[in-house]
Structure 1
Amino acid sequence: MRKLRYGILFLGLILTLAACSKEEDTPVDRLSAYVDLWNDAKFTEMYDDYITESSKDVFGKEQFIERAEKLYADLGISSIEVIFDKPEEEKTYKKEEDVEFPVQIKLETIAGEIDFKKNVPLTYKEQGETKNWFIEWDPSFILPDLSMHDKVRISTIQSKRGEIYDRHNKALAINGSGVEIGIVPEKFNTETDAEKLATLLGTTANFINEQLNQSWVQPDLFVPIKKLSFTQEDIYNEALQIAGVTSMKAEMREYPYAESLAHLIGYIGQINAEELEKLNDKGYKESDLVGKRGLEQLLEERLRGEDGIKIYIEKTEQNAEKIMIAETPAIDGENITLTIDAEFQKAVFAEMNGEPGTAAIVDPKTGETLVLASSPAFDPNELSLGISSTRYAELTDDPAEPLLNRFAATYAPGSSIKPITAAIGLSTGTLKPDEGHTIEGKKWRKDGSWGNFQVTRVYTAPNPVDLKKALVYSDNIYFAKEALEMGSEQFVEGLQQFGFGEEIPFKYGLRTSQISNDGKITSEGQLADTSFGQGQMLMNILHLASTYGAIVNEGQMTKPVLFADEKKSEVWKEELLSAEHAAILQEDLRAVVSDGFAEAANISSPKISGKTGTTELKSSLEEAGKENGFFVAYPTDDPTYIIAMMIEGVENKGGSGYVAEKVANVMKTR
């Protein structure tokens, strides 16, 4: 028993000596451990074990833990780096004296890096059963200059959407302005005028009443109802005739050329749920605007800017002074310049006068696209602001299909393809321009193997019919005979050399021109039909204009371009014609206008060369008998541009001659 008692006393003595021999923490040790917890954002352990009771009494867990955690989350802090450079020399610190060490604090936030220095004061205290060095803490440990009652604010710096300009720096899509129609409640009679205003603005009386009954509304305040563009002047003027209705200037996307460039430029609008889901990983929000059609949609990534963010402290005790602590500047979207000539496009669109059709104009030397029009169209200013379902139904139900982009589509080119057929024949050597065919009557078939199939011509040319006469009189029978001489293999190969069946190298999606549905010609009847642009042949209007470039460029087709920064004069197709054969076709195309059935284009200035074309639609009983008219032309003496125009429904307007007159009217103004 005595031995046991001595053993216990001996063990206690050893423990006491061990405790006495253990070195106490220095303030450097304590701050190092605190910094390790800080780098791991372990705020609760920092608070419980390292903060002075006096700091806890003043600030409490709400300021230290809850506020820090919330700010770190709100500011999107992705990394914390607190750097404490320990003193190189060992030093004995007196417990009765407070000490202070500098630390460097780096926080990566949604607005960039916050980097600041902080002197950390430590004092030796007995807290509870513990004696040690503790940190005198305040909110400036979280963010620089932050005090207990200050507010931390985050604000967005709005970026500007890139703008679109034409070749002459004329605005096509800009961050412009319009007006916002609103109501001053004390002057407005909801019972008599709400329905009237709603009808005018394409909304409902219920919506107007909802806006007027919002909690913030006061009798003399402006209550916004709807934005209007500069093109909606009639609605604006009528709305202001209603008592209590007024307006304010409002920022909005502006499309100065309205309908004339609508299909090419497109418009922006409020992002919908489907678009938001698709673009979710690119930082879009429910309140964002996004490209809906045309280049606004195609160039969304280039046009869209990146909003900036700033983080600042709003001081509560210093006249609400704002201290900026982090800022990422906004990056505006890219401004884009097109090769389009807006005034030229406006003139073409006006000449089309709302009739269904399309037109393209290219510079055959550089490939620059000067005009790309689709008629009729819509007002992008109206759609950008949001339209009612009733108004949208009017557009979708319109038989002229103003929402259809015709320049991106393909159509049977009819006789406008005949110069290309001739070019292929001349190049293969099967077509002899001075040798003619004797053709009798308006119908022809090769032999009995064709059954009931026969080729029909509209006009009778004097025999013998050579190339020039065939073009001037647009003789289908002549071109059918020449196609048979070539054979389907050479003809198909020739069309492929002109770009049929391949993607058009253009930075705006255009449907590929086709020889036939499967790219082949499998019968003599199909070969005959295809030679004069019928059968299953379909062609894009820009491609059609580009093919005539081979005639004025001595056999070379230039790659069409749309953007000013693209390389110009790049060869798309070459050696399609010899210089000699190109000269023959140039002479013949002038004769088509001066001596043939494109006489409406035979004006004194400028002299015009070109080829008409008419296609009869046979795809359905409803369309049977309807005709599309074409005219492809260029200034004879200075072929700096080629225009191709197609108008639908010309059967009672003079056929393709009607289109030739429109083209001539446009060329007069150039």
Structure 2
Amino acid sequence: MKKSCILAAIVLLIIVLGACSKGPTPEERFQEYVSLWNEQKFNEMYDFLSADAKNKMTEKEFTERYKKIYQSIEVSNLKVTYDKPEEEADRGDEKKASLPYALKMETLAGPVEFKQDAVFVQEEADKEENWFLAWNPSMIFPQLKEGDAVRVSEIKPLRGSIFDKYGNGIAIQAKVPEIQVVPGQLGDNPEKVKAEAAKLLNLSVEDIDSKLSANWVKPNVSVPIMKVDPANKELLKKVTSLPGFQKADVDSRYYPQGESSAHLSGYVGSISAEQLEDLKDKGYTSTSQIGKAGLEYVYEERLRGKSGYRIFIDSSNETIAETPAKNGEDITVTIDSDLQKQLYNQLKGDSGTAVALHPKTGETLAMVSSPSYNPNQFVFGMSSAAYSALAENPQKPLSAKFNKTFSPGSTFKAITAAVGLKTGAIEPEAVKKINGPTWQKGPEWGKYTITRVSETYSSVNLERALVSSDNIYFAQAALDIGPEAFKKGLEEFGFSEEIDYPFPIATSSISTSDLAAEEILLADSGYGQGEVQMSPMHLAAAYTVFLNEGSMLKPYLEKKDQPAPEIWKEAIVSPENTSIILSDLIKVVEDPTGTAHEPKLPNIMLAGKTGTAELKTTKEEIGKENGWFVGMNMENPELLITMMVEDVKDRGGSHYVVPKVKQVFSSYLK
């Protein structure tokens, strides 16, 4: 009995050892391979390849091929599945096994999935039999064959356009003329021809030569030089009359409003290395165009759209995966391009800015800055000399002014009046006795005095102070209000608060010093000097208080189906006090003694306030002056304009600005 048991155990051991000597099955080997594949451990996967596969490709080549392909198509969520059967398959050829598997992955061109068989062959390795994968390129993609390469092409989306409230283009996609040159057709004196063309195009000969020196250029091939504004027909005619120069219409970003809306529209340009590094995870590539300034920058994410991609085999052009481009969003803003142009024409030749709002809805009707530039030059091509001239101009034509802050001068007095009436520091009919052109509180002010614009009146109430723009009255009013109440009142008007607005607007500020400790500074602040800083946009918004029963409207920029006002600051002035100040602001324009009376507009009633801001650090200094005027029409109010012109000291101060604003009202209200 014992012998038979021992014999049975020996037989069982021989069977087990015999089974172990067969090594792993192809199913087991493939399961290991699939596990490594899902983890993208390509170098370890190589160990599973058959001798024939290894003869065709080294481990480095195998690993790099997978890595390069997977990286170029941005593989994610890779999932290769092989379900090992419960029972070993019945193979006719004992040294070959065909095992089905499925692959799924996400790529930049969308999902990819396929099913096929992996073939394992039995080979001897290290004096033992084992199963190895008869790998071929189709395991990467079924369409891929020996010698093929996987390519990716980007399908560019159309950038969205920006339109004004009436559908006029501010930034659009359009066909524009491009000047091209055929090198072999420049004639007997090519240098002379290039010099003439360079002069016409505001380029240097070197700029043209750099285009012609590209390694792909051939004598009879057209070489793009620069795009030209379609409106400049005379230039096109002159350039294309030169030997070798011709015109072709090409797709381009185009800014139909040109200089008048440059700081509003901004422009697009090639993405920089720094921007690409910051935005590489958002679908940008080295060839991307990106908003560099203005609304192109502000609305970049919505305008740019989303690129589509196609993954394909280079030799056969067979598509592996493709996702279409999603074009950018068109955006319609509340800007009135005609009004924008009118304001720009009034500012042209000066350094200044203007903002126009609809005073009953808060719509932004115009935002203008001067001097300006032609945004098309940044897209079409600009010489280095032309760019340097813009960049080095002390008036900073490349920088918008409507979103910066400035000393508001006497336009600020209406705000001081509102704060004074609310706190009770100002009584409208109360008369201040002010004698002489200058005033100081007492000897503690030393030599510092405050100067009046006009010394005609010695008895001054609120109405007279606004109509004649009396600095002394409002300096005394600020002192009567007191530093804390003054600061609180201005904060109710939005000072020290960021404006919720798509276009970045600098925050208006009261003072960097302690008003409680600086009595002279508090007095100066009362009439818009001192350290008070306001943006033209904020100043315009502040004046909406006087047409909306004491509530300040929030300016907005995107067109709504129906113009609808939003309140930024509710009931910061009582209706009674609003009426008092508005009545006085009408007299500033309508009263013959008012600072904004001339020129008189027939049949148009305006309310408004002038301002001249002195820019100097000491009383003795002879500084520059900025002239301001804020105006709004009273019959069916639909336009409120804030305009500021720099350096008006010897040109009449604010009186230089008033006629410009009135001319726009006259044209617009017709």
| Range of TM-score over shorter length | 0.7 to 0.9
Q: 2: CA distance between counterparts of 1:17 and 1:406?
A: 89
In structure 1, which of residues 585, 589, 597 is the aligned counterpart of residue 595 of structure 2?
Answer: 597
Task: Check 1:136–1:622 CA distance in 2 against 1; reply closer, same or farther (3 A cut).
Answer: farther
SS of 2:318 mapped into structure 1: strand
Q: 1: CA distance between counterparts of 2:618 and 2:242?
A: 50
What is the alpha-carbon root mean square deviation over aligned residues? 3.7
Q: 1: CA distance between counterparts of 2:131 and 2:322?
A: 37
SS of 1:425 mapped into structure 2: helix
Letter paired with 2:306? E
Relative to the length of structure 2, the TM-score reads 0.85
The residue aligned with 2:310 is 310
Task: Check 1:390–1:428 CA distance in 2 against 1; reply closer, same or farther (3 A cut).
Answer: same
In structure 2, which of residues 445, 452, 456 is the aligned counterpart of residue 457 of structure 1?
Answer: 452
User: CA offsets per residue over residues 423-474 of structure 1, 9 Å max, x none?
Assistant: 2222122322223234333333444444433332233445533222222222
Task: Check 1:276–1:620 CA distance in 2 against 1; reply closer, same or farther (3 A cut).
Answer: farther
The residue aligned with 2:625 is 627
The residue aligned with 1:585 is 581
Task: Check 1:118–1:472 CA distance in 2 against 1; reply closer, same or farther (3 A cut).
Answer: same
Cα pair 1:601 1:663 within 8 Å, conserved? no
In structure 1, which of residues 110, 113, 116 is the aligned counterpart of residue 111 of structure 2?
Answer: 113
In the alignment of these two chains, the number of paired residues is: 652
Q: 2: CA distance between counterparts of 1:378 and 1:656?
A: 26
Task: Check 1:116–1:471 CA distance in 2 against 1; reply closer, same or farther (3 A cut).
Answer: same
- 1:279 is displaced (CA, Å) by 3.8
- 1:205 is displaced (CA, Å) by 3.0
Cα pair 1:599 1:657 within 8 Å, conserved? no
Q: 2: CA distance between counterparts of 1:268 and 1:425?
A: 47
- 1:244 is displaced (CA, Å) by 0.8
Aligned pairs (5 A) from 1:101-140? 101-120=99-118, 138-140=136-138
Task: Check 1:461–1:483 CA distance in 2 against 1; reply closer, same or farther (3 A cut).
Answer: farther
- 1:640 is displaced (CA, Å) by 3.2
Cα pair 1:607 1:636 within 8 Å, conserved? yes
The residue aligned with 1:5 is none
- 1:666 is displaced (CA, Å) by 0.9
The residue aligned with 1:3 is none
The residue aligned with 1:547 is 542
Q: 2: CA distance between counterparts of 1:412 and 1:327?
A: 57
Task: Check 1:429–1:89 CA distance in 2 against 1; reply closer, same or farther (3 A cut).
Answer: same
The residue aligned with 1:142 is 140
SS of 1:600 mapped into structure 2: coil
Cα pair 2:48 2:133 within 8 Å, conserved? no
Q: 2: CA distance between counterparts of 1:483 and 1:91?
A: 97
Q: 2: CA distance between counterparts of 1:231 and 1:401?
A: 26
SS of 1:417 mapped into structure 2: helix
Cα pair 1:501 1:519 within 8 Å, conserved? no
Letter paired with 2:572? L
Task: Check 1:450–1:40 CA distance in 2 against 1; reply closer, same or farther (3 A cut).
Answer: closer
Letter paired with 1:265? S
The residue aligned with 2:612 is 614
Cα pair 1:541 1:644 within 8 Å, conserved? yes
Aligned pairs (5 A) from 1:201-280? 201-230=201-230, 235-280=235-280
Q: 1: CA distance between counterparts of 2:36 and 2:483?
A: 82
The residue aligned with 1:419 is 414
Cα pair 1:34 1:50 within 8 Å, conserved? no
Letter paired with 1:556? S
SS of 2:645 mapped into structure 1: strand
Q: 1: CA distance between counterparts of 2:457 and 2:46?
A: 106
Task: Check 1:309–1:620 CA distance in 2 against 1; reply closer, same or farther (3 A cut).
Answer: farther
SS of 2:402 mapped into structure 1: helix
- 1:420 is displaced (CA, Å) by 1.7
Aligned pairs (5 A) from 1:17-166? 18-19=17-18, 28=27, 32=31, 35=34, 39=38, 51=50, 71-72=69-70, 74-78=72-76, 80-88=78-86, 92-95=90-93, 100-120=98-118, 138-148=136-146, 150-166=148-164
Q: 2: CA distance between counterparts of 1:604 and 1:313?
A: 75
Aligned pairs (5 A) from 1:617-656? 617-619=615-617, 624=622, 626-656=624-654
Aligned pairs (5 A) from 1:2-17? none
Cα pair 2:109 2:308 within 8 Å, conserved? yes
Task: Check 1:444–1:330 CA distance in 2 against 1; reply closer, same or farther (3 A cut).
Answer: same
Q: 2: CA distance between counterparts of 1:496 and 1:41?
A: 60
In structure 2, which of residues 504, 522, 527 is the aligned counterpart of residue 509 of structure 1?
Answer: 504
In structure 2, which of residues 541, 553, 558 is the aligned counterpart of residue 558 of structure 1?
Answer: 553
What runs of 5+ residues in structure 2 fail to find an aligned partner? 1-9
Q: 2: CA distance between counterparts of 1:620 and 1:292?
A: 39
| Structure 2 residue 567 is matched with structure 1 residue 571 | yes
User: CA offsets per residue over residues 508-530 of structure 1, 9 Å max, x none?
Assistant: 33222233332525444333322
Cα pair 2:23 2:129 within 8 Å, conserved? no
Q: 2: CA distance between counterparts of 1:272 and 1:254?
A: 21
- 1:121 is displaced (CA, Å) by 5.7
The residue aligned with 1:347 is 342
The residue aligned with 2:196 is 196
Aligned pairs (5 A) from 1:356-505? 356-462=351-457, 464-505=459-500
Q: 1: CA distance between counterparts of 2:154 and 2:547?
A: 55
Relative to the length of structure 1, the TM-score reads 0.85
Cα pair 1:461 1:470 within 8 Å, conserved? no
Task: Check 1:578–1:620 CA distance in 2 against 1; reply closer, same or farther (3 A cut).
Answer: closer
User: CA offsets per residue over residues 44-96 of structure 1, 9 Å max, x none?
Assistant: 8877766596x889x77799888656544544445643323344556544348
Q: 1: CA distance between counterparts of 2:303 and 2:458?
A: 60
Letter paired with 1:373? V
Letter paired with 2:179? I
Cα pair 1:102 1:120 within 8 Å, conserved? yes
Task: Check 1:620–1:350 CA distance in 2 against 1; reply closer, same or farther (3 A cut).
Answer: farther
The residue aligned with 2:4 is none
Letter paired with 1:579? P
Task: Check 1:138–1:241 CA distance in 2 against 1; reply closer, same or farther (3 A cut).
Answer: same
Q: 2: CA distance between counterparts of 1:529 and 1:20?
A: 101
Q: 1: CA distance between counterparts of 2:510 and 2:387?
A: 36
Cα pair 1:416 1:611 within 8 Å, conserved? yes
Task: Check 1:127–1:623 CA distance in 2 against 1; reply closer, same or farther (3 A cut).
Answer: same
Q: 2: CA distance between counterparts of 1:129 and 1:472?
A: 108
Cα pair 2:22 2:129 within 8 Å, conserved? no
Cα pair 1:95 1:124 within 8 Å, conserved? no
Q: 1: CA distance between counterparts of 2:362 and 2:125?
A: 84
Cα pair 1:375 1:402 within 8 Å, conserved? yes
Q: Which moved more, 1:62-71 or 1:607-616?
A: 62-71
Q: 1: CA distance between counterparts of 2:406 and 2:57?
A: 77
Cα pair 1:95 1:123 within 8 Å, conserved? no
Q: 1: CA distance between counterparts of 2:310 and 2:390?
A: 44
In structure 2, which of residues 633, 656, 659 is the aligned counterpart of residue 658 of structure 1?
Answer: 656
User: CA offsets per residue over residues 93-136 of structure 1, 9 Å max, x none?
Assistant: 43489875532122443433321111456678999987787776
What runs of 5+ residues in structure 1 fail to find an aligned partner? 1-10
Q: Which moved more, 1:35-44 or 1:452-461?
A: 35-44
- 1:505 is displaced (CA, Å) by 3.5
Cα pair 2:515 2:521 within 8 Å, conserved? no
Q: 1: CA distance between counterparts of 2:449 and 2:34?
A: 94
SS of 1:405 mapped into structure 2: coil
Cα pair 2:544 2:552 within 8 Å, conserved? yes
- 1:371 is displaced (CA, Å) by 1.8
